[in-house]
Amino acid sequence: MKVYIVRHGEVPHNALKQYNNQNEDLTEKGIKQAEELREKIKTIDYDILLCSPLIRAKHTADIINVKEQQIIIDNRLEERNPGSLSGQSLDVTNRDEYWNYYTELQYGTSENIQKFFKRVYSFLDELKTKDYENVLVVAHSGVSKAFNGYFEGIRDGLFLHKGLKNCEIREYEL
């Protein structure tokens, strides 16, 4: 089974370089990014489209859903919750450490990275049991980092630079 993961288009907190757990919609730039991605998606014959419950992911999924498949929401695809960091600049943390799988640091009430990865891994483990050929997943940068860990291994535990950019797509074999 091929699994294609897409990160949603730009939202205000991306442009402001902030942590955010608000349920924001796409910016005009984010809509354009999704429209451009829709052209690339046309060549993928996906059987199912699975999506995060957050508005930015659902709006992106609506735009890129060229096969007009039903969009199935899975809460395990929701972004890592930054908790009390929400609304603050990304600079308030050591970003490498925030995305270090082996970190002992806890930044505010942010979701623990190992628990977050475990949540995403449970989604992928369940997906393995399904009989799809091509799956399109619309989610978030953090979720794409967890996908990277699942398919490529945890290795040094450093995931800051292993996530997707807005409306980037990556293919994995499950």
Query: What is the average pLDDT score of the chain?
Result: 97
pTM for this prediction: 0.98
Domain with 80 in it: what CATH number?
A: 3.40.50.1240
Report the number of distinct structural domains present in the chain: 1
Model confidence at 12, pLDDT cuts 50, 70, 90, reads very high
Catalytic site residue 8? yes
d(CA 149, CA 147): 5
Residues 128-152, mean pLDDT to the nearest whole number: 98
Domain extent, residue 110, equals 2-173
Chain centre distance of CA 13: 15
- Sign for the CA dihedral angle at 60, 62, 67, 70 comes to positive
Tens digit of each residue's pLDDT (9 = 90 or more) over 55-85: 999 999 999 999 999 999 999 999 999 999 9
Q: Which of 59, 79, 140, 152 is catalytic?
A: 79
Q: Is 35 a catalytic residue?
A: no
